[in-house]
């Protein structure tokens, strides 16, 4: 029998929502540039894909009611790899791709993805938030999954080209962002359990609003003590595609009971908070911010890293790890 749901009510997460508002204010401030990679701070300065940028705008979009659903932007980027060599990538219209039934990603889940956003500033300029950090995280994950990975420059160039080619889909300031999804998958055919012989790096995009319908309002999270997202020695610390399907059952069960998402406990002691299905977690109490340590079972979030850096600059203390019993 399922144990009763444990709720973290507004008393705890109201303070957490304040830290999210800090992030929103931070985006609007000049400090945003300080935490944006210099390599991609101004997307207009180079690699302008004029042949791909449509002149027509996306005026048909209801930017005020933009959720986190898929609205495919016009173009995607593809780069193939064999013998550890990545060929020159190219932009093409968003559409279906071909995969062998025996590809490594279909049979053994050999794949990674990243998630990042492009924003439109008040002056119309497009900016990316720390894309170099996504590139580094992809490289870390690729090493764990026995995959070659694009260089940091190749990664950023692919993301920049994709953002510029789809610039009409970047919402107006304050209305959302262009979500950019890089993928690295084992696309070559393989039968035995081994790394794929060929790989494909893809980047596509979609305009999005807030991930949670509540926006910056407090969330109700179901504290899961039956299912676990990751275990020590596993791949929970990288953004492997195989980490996400197993949590769908827990998410579905929580949402059917009126919760926003699931907050997972560690699989060993079942008392340490780890992370939510789709994000890291912070607990703000006074001048102290507590967050779980990234010790191999928690994804090293780029937003997480940025909040820690900002919090330290603002005089907050950051503590690890986070025990469930300490916040009840």
223-263: pLDDT as tens digits: 998 999 999 999 999 999 999 999 999 999 999 999 999 99
CATH of domain 68-208: 3.30.470.10
Higher-scoring residue by pLDDT: 16, 88? 88
Q: Which residues contact 245 (CB under 8 A, 6 or more apart)?
A: none
Which tens digit of pLDDT belongs to each residue from 2-12? 333 333 333 23
pTM above 0.85, yes or no: no
pLDDT in tens, 120-144: 999 999 999 999 999 999 999 999 9
Give me the residue spans of the domains in the chain: 7-26+214-326, 68-208
pLDDT of 23 higher than 50: no
Partners of residue 51 on adjacent β-strands: none
Contact 128, 163 (CB under 8 A): yes
Q: Which residues are catalytic?
A: 239
In DSSP terms, 283 is beta-bridged to 290
Q: Which of the two residues, 322 and 76, has the higher pLDDT score?
A: 76
Q: What is the arrangement of strands in the sheet containing 288-290, beginning at the earlier edge strand? A: 283-285, 288-290, 317-319
Pairing status of strand 288-290 against strand 317-319: parallel
How crowded is residue 86: how many other Cβ atoms within 10 Å of its Cβ?
18
Q: Which long-range contacts (CB under 8 A, 24 or more apart) does 6-12 make?
A: 6/222, 6/223, 6/225, 7/220, 7/221, 7/222, 7/223, 7/259, 8/220, 8/221, 8/223, 8/263, 8/327, 9/218, 9/220, 10/218, 12/283, 12/327
What is the distance between the alpha carbons of residues 67 and 22, in angstroms, rounded to a whole number? Answer: 21
Among the residue ranges 12-21, 48-57, 151-160, the one predicted with the least confidence is 12-21
Cα(9)–Cα(220) distance, rounded to whole angstroms? 6
In order of 23, 263, 288, 316, 318, the CA distances from 312 in angstroms are 14, 25, 10, 5, 7
Range 52-61 average pLDDT: 66
Alpha helices in the chain (DSSP H): 10-28, 104-108, 131-144, 152-165, 248-256, 302-313
DSSP β-bridge partners for residue 284: 289
| 180 vs 277: CA distance, rounded Å | 19
- 78 neighbors 192 (Cβ within 8 angstroms): no
CATH class of the domain whose range is 7-26+214-326: alpha beta
């Amino acid at each position: 029998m399922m144990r009763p749901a444990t709720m973290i009510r507004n008393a705890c997460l109201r303070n957490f929502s304040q830290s999210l508002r800090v992030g929103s204010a931070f985006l609007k401030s000049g400090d945003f540039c300080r935490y944006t990679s210099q390599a991609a701070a101004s997307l207009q300065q180079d690699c302008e894909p004029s042949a791909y940028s449509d002149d027509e705008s996306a005026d048909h979009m209801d930017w005020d009611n933009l959720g986190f659903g898929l609205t495919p932007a016009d173009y995607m980027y593809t780069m193939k790899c064999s013998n550890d060599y990545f060929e020159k990538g190219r932009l093409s219209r968003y559409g279906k791709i071909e995969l062998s039934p025996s590809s490594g990603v279909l049979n053994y889940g050999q794949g990674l993805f990243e998630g990042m956003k492009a924003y439109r500033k008040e002056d119309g300029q497009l900016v990316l938030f720390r894309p170099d950090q996504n590139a580094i995280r992809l490289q870390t994950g690729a090493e764990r999954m026995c995959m070659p990975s694009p260089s940091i420059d190749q990664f950023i160039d692919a993301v920049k080209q994709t953002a510029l080619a789809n610039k009409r889909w970047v919402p107006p300031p304050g209305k959302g962002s262009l979500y950019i999804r890089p993928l690295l998958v084992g696309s070559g055919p393989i039968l035995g359990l081994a790394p794929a012989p060929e790989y494909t790096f893809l980047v596509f995009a979609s305009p999005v609003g807030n991930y949670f319908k509540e926006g910056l309002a407090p969330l109700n999270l179901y504290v899961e003590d039956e299912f676990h997202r990751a275990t020590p020695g596993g791949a929970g610390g990288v953004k492997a595609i195989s980490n996400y399907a197993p949590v769908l059952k827990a998410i579905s069960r929580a949402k059917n009971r009126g919760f926003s998402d699931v907050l997972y406990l560690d699989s060993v002691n079942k008392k340490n908070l780890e992370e939510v299905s789709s994000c890291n977690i912070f607990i703000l109490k006074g001048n102290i911010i507590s967050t779980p340590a990234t010790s191999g079972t928690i994804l090293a979030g780029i937003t997480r890293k940025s909040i820690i850096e900002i919090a330290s600059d603002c005089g907050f203390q950051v503590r690890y790890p986070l025990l469930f019993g300490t916040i009840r």
